[in-house]
Amino acid sequence: MTNTNNHIRIMVIDDEPIVGKRLKGLLKKEGFYIEIFSDSKDAVSAIEKRGFDIIISDLKMEGYDGLQIMDIAKKTNPDIIVIIITGFVQKSTETTALENGAFDFIIKPFKVEHLRNTINRAVLEITKRSEA
């Protein structure tokens, strides 16, 4: 990825501030526009006010959980790409997330390369859609 990614808007929602801080550093280096939220209610407000291309959301949070955030985001923009990250592994939750439109479901702790590859796939999907 190069700095040509600056037109891609990414939101990261995680109630653990360290996760947001680390992802912000990584994604800014990749050239993305990024906003970090540790409060799910603030994130929902931003989703409704500003357009994002990709949302990376923790699953378990106070307020809205990742599946609720995905539902709200998809109602605002059906083409938005949502990547769920979680430390709570339940196959049924993963299946539910993917069946309801999650682009990927990533288990914490994850390798940065795994997330980078997922974001690369998401960017390719966004590019394909814009060219169609």
Residue 119 pLDDT level (bands cut at 50, 70, 90): very high
85-116 confidence digits (pLDDT tens):
998 878 899 999 999 999 999 999 999 899 99
Which range marks the domain in which residue 82 is found? 3-131
How many structural domains comprise the chain?
1
Cα–Cα distance measured from residue 83 to residue 105, given in angstroms and rounded to the nearest whole number: 6
pTM across the whole model? 0.93
CA distance 46 to 52: 9
CATH number at residue 22: 3.40.50.2300
Is the confidence at residue 4, as pLDDT, over 80?
Answer: no
The answer to which of 1-5, 76-80, 109-113 has the lowest mean pLDDT is: 1-5
Quick: pLDDT tens for 16-33. 999 999 999 999 999 999
